[in-house]
Amino acid sequence: MMDGKEYIESLRKIKPVVYYMGRRIENVADDPATAPHVNAAALTYELAHDHRYEEIMTARSHLTGEKINRFTHIHQSTDDLVKKVRMMRLLGQRTGSCFQRCVGFDAMNALYIVTYNVDKKYKTDYHERVKDFVKYVQKKDLMCAGAMTDVKGDRSLKPHQQADPDLYVRVVRKEEGGIVVRGAKAHITGAVNSHEIIVLPTRALTEKDSSYAVAFAVPVDAEGVKMIFGRQTNDSRRFEGEIDCGNPKYATVGGEALIIFEDVFLPWERVFMCGEYEFAADLVEVFATFHRQNYGGCKVGVADALIGAAACVAEYNGVANAPHIIDKITEMIHLAETCWSCSLACSYEGIKTPSGAYMPNPLLANVTKLNITRFPYEWSRLAHDIAGGIIATMPSEKDYKNPETRELIEKYLKGYAEIPTEHRIRMLRLLENLSMGSGLIESMHGAGSPQAQKIMMLRRSDLDKKKEIARVLSGIVEDELHKKIRPSN
């Protein structure tokens, strides 16, 4: 297993094509635009070597028997699923940010489960290819980016109906040694500082969309792969100093990128689906279940940091014992722990798949994520209420360090007398960073927007059984009339 320093050094050895703000990033490990995201991901490596966290940060490979970083593991029990979300909360607490490594982790587990089913139907060898890839990732302790979301073009049209056929990633042609793909994936977390990109289809597909039913893994620096690193709220602050960043070491969210595949060649051993369109929806659903499971872990870990910041700001403002402040902080705790309970529940209620690997309970995983589309906005609102308007009007770090204005800021931004003004400024900036940045958008749209969770919840809730329960309790015997009016699933 690599440690954090070895991970950062490994990034210096590869040369992905990355653009940001009109320039080429030559070294993602050291460039100030990407370094904070690298630091957050590095902690997933570093904590695996800390004996205090060994149980949740590492696992034993079922393929090789070797001790591995849990982010490269294929879940073998509900205990693995629970340890996964415990790991997520820990890392959220330690980074106050997105540590990025979970998306590829979830993509790898989804492929492991679904390719087993594809092989059973078509006698293909995708599952063996996935196992070989997993062993490679485990041996090298690689970070994989998961790339699912296509750019989609006209959302009312299926992939094959688009005016531009490249608006979903597709197979352009098959060759003797592999396939050539073209297209783009959007919003891809941690892509620029990963070693590999795992690409999955983004939606259910029809037979006419079969060329879009493709899954594969490709090195980030493969020929034809280009990435454009996205902007984030207040991202330019990292070029201006430390205090205004709020969370200078780990930035805000996951450093998302637009990934373009310009006729990229994939050898067959790197291809895990090619044309089996009827399994695209399964792959999307299994991946989404894994990824939605996470949010009650990682987002609650970040909420722990925000709750702590709000409590500190209340102390620095001299109002920590005010009943309404205590009530607001208690409400923040309630909201966060509700989401945490959901993550634990879907993990403990996980199921064993025919592949032998385990996945979370799909219904409860979607409940988890739907709560995350709502509750972070509320706990952020409460944090803003506690902090006051100064989080939106505070003078800059440059003004604070300017000899002509420093003493004025020291005097007039003072709170509780015993607390240095700089401490108050730093805590307010952290609270701003944790509650007003791109993380809220990621809470809403990461792992699917709210409607996606609602569709899955209804599909998985077994409404007919609930109606039967009601009929039995009310003394109604089901007859042909009830069968006739029952809607088909």
Q: What pLDDT is stored for residue 118 in this prediction? A: 98
Whole-prediction pTM: 0.94
Q: What pLDDT is stored for residue 438 in this prediction? A: 81
Q: Which two tokens stand for residue 171?
A: 């197979």
Of 95, 212, 250, 256, which residue is the catalytic one? 256
Quick check: is 193 in a domain?
no
Q: What pLDDT is stored for residue 488 in this prediction? A: 52
Query: pLDDT tens-digit profile of 219-273?
Result: 999 999 999 999 988 889 989 989 999 999 997 777 899 999 999 999 999 999 9
For all residues of the chain together, what is the average pLDDT? 96
Say if residue 34's pLDDT is above 90: yes
The torsion angles phi and psi of 37, rounded to 5 degrees, stand at -70, -35
- 3-class SS of residue 380: helix
Say if residue 489's pLDDT is above 70: no
Of 58, 149, 189, 373, which residue is the catalytic one? 189
Q: Which of 111, 271, 103, 100 is nearest to 181 (CA)?
A: 271
Q: What is the mean pLDDT of residues 428-436?
A: 95
Identify the domain containing residue 288 by its residue range: 283-463
Say if residue 319's pLDDT is above 90: yes
Say if residue 421's pLDDT is above 60: yes
Q: What pLDDT is stored for residue 478 in this prediction? A: 74
Query: pLDDT tens-digit profile of 70-129?
Result: 999 999 999 999 999 999 999 999 999 999 999 999 999 999 999 999 999 999 999 999
Spatial neighbors of 297 by CB under 8 A, at least 6 apart, are: 84, 85, 86, 87, 88, 89, 92, 340, 343
* pLDDT band, very low/low/confident/very high, at 477 (cuts 50, 70, 90): confident
Among this protein's residues, is 298 annotated catalytic?
yes
Q: What pLDDT is stored for residue 286 in this prediction? A: 98
Among this protein's residues, is 245 annotated catalytic?
no
Spatial neighbors of 174 by CB under 8 A, at least 6 apart, are: 180, 274
Of 295, 316, 358, 400, which residue is the catalytic one? 295
Give percent of the chain with pLDDT exceeding 70.
98
* pLDDT band, very low/low/confident/very high, at 437 (cuts 50, 70, 90): confident
* pLDDT band, very low/low/confident/very high, at 298 (cuts 50, 70, 90): very high
Quick check: is 342 in a domain?
yes
Q: What pLDDT is stored for residue 312 in this prediction? A: 98
* pLDDT band, very low/low/confident/very high, at 481 (cuts 50, 70, 90): low
Q: What is the mean pLDDT of residues 187-196?
A: 97
Quick check: is 293 in a domain?
yes
The torsion angles phi and psi of 115, rounded to 5 degrees, stand at -65, -30
Among this protein's residues, is 44 annotated catalytic?
no
Q: What pLDDT is stored for residue 482 in this prediction? A: 67
Q: What pLDDT is stored for residue 57 in this prediction? A: 98
Say if residue 190's pLDDT is above 80: yes
Quick check: is 358 in a domain?
yes
Among this protein's residues, is 256 annotated catalytic?
yes
* pLDDT band, very low/low/confident/very high, at 132 (cuts 50, 70, 90): very high
Among this protein's residues, is 480 annotated catalytic?
no
Of 298, 312, 339, 342, which residue is the catalytic one? 298
Q: Which two tokens stand for residue 168?
A: 């979903």
Q: What is the mean pLDDT of residues 377-390?
A: 97
Among this protein's residues, is 212 annotated catalytic?
no
* Count of domains forming the chain: 1
Pairing of strands 214-219, 225-229: unpaired
- 3-class SS of residue 227: strand
Query: pLDDT tens-digit profile of 202-219?
Result: 999 999 999 999 999 999
Query: pLDDT tens-digit profile of 133-166?
Result: 999 999 999 999 999 999 999 999 999 999 999 9
Q: What is the mean pLDDT of residues 7-14?
A: 98
Residue 378: CATH number of its domain = 1.20.140.10
Quick check: is 290 in a domain?
yes
Of 75, 98, 250, 315, which residue is the catalytic one? 98
CB 196 within 8 A of CB 218: yes
Among this protein's residues, is 55 annotated catalytic?
no
Of 291, 312, 316, 432, which residue is the catalytic one? 291
Among this protein's residues, is 346 annotated catalytic?
no
